[in-house]
Amino acid sequence: MESATFGAGCFWGVEAAFRQIKGVTGTAVGYEGGAKTEPTYKEVCTDTTGHAEVVQVTYDPAIVPYEALLRVFWENHDPTTLNRQGPDVGSQYRSAIFYHSPEQADRARASLEQVRQTGKFKRPIVTEIVPGQTFWPAEDYHQQYLEKRGLSTCHIST
């Protein structure tokens, strides 16, 4: 199994999208990319911790390649809005790929270039591609939030 970590705005809808992918064996929502140790949702929402809301995906690369996860990432948020997704504003909602290996970094950069070349987005893509840091799991009530409430999505379509 391998891990992949993505920040694409509010983590609830993004997690739900990844959970539908064959070969994804687990997901967890949480916080990454900031300086605060063991941040809470309330702290991250102040936009002072430096953390992004992220989804950490555990997957079987024999079933689902990393590139397929990258496609889900690009399709489930607007990577052209700096520190914002829909009505959610702040650096915690930034578009980011936290890579876990040099190979993931190379593949993430290649996918970014492919997305740019499609011309799908009229504005510049602002997605960060940065080394993974410590992943801090969000509180239990955030895990599989939509699923627990019988909802399927809340993300912004692009």
- Quick one: how far is CA 97 from the chain centroid? 7
User: Is 154 an annotated catalytic residue?
Assistant: no
Kind of pairing, strands 24-32 and 52-59?
Answer: antiparallel
CATH of the domain at 113: 3.30.1060.10
Which of the residues 5, 7, 8, 10 is marked catalytic?
10
11-50 residue pLDDT tens: 888 999 999 999 999 999 999 999 999 999 999 999 999 9
Q: How confident is the model at residue 10 (pLDDT cuts 50, 70, 90)?
A: confident
Shortest CA distance to 73 belongs to which of 132, 44, 115, 41?
Answer: 115
Range of the domain at 73: 2-148
State yes or no: pLDDT of 81 exceeds 70: yes
State yes or no: pLDDT of 158 exceeds 70: no
pTM, entire model? 0.92
How many domains, in total, are found in the chain? 1
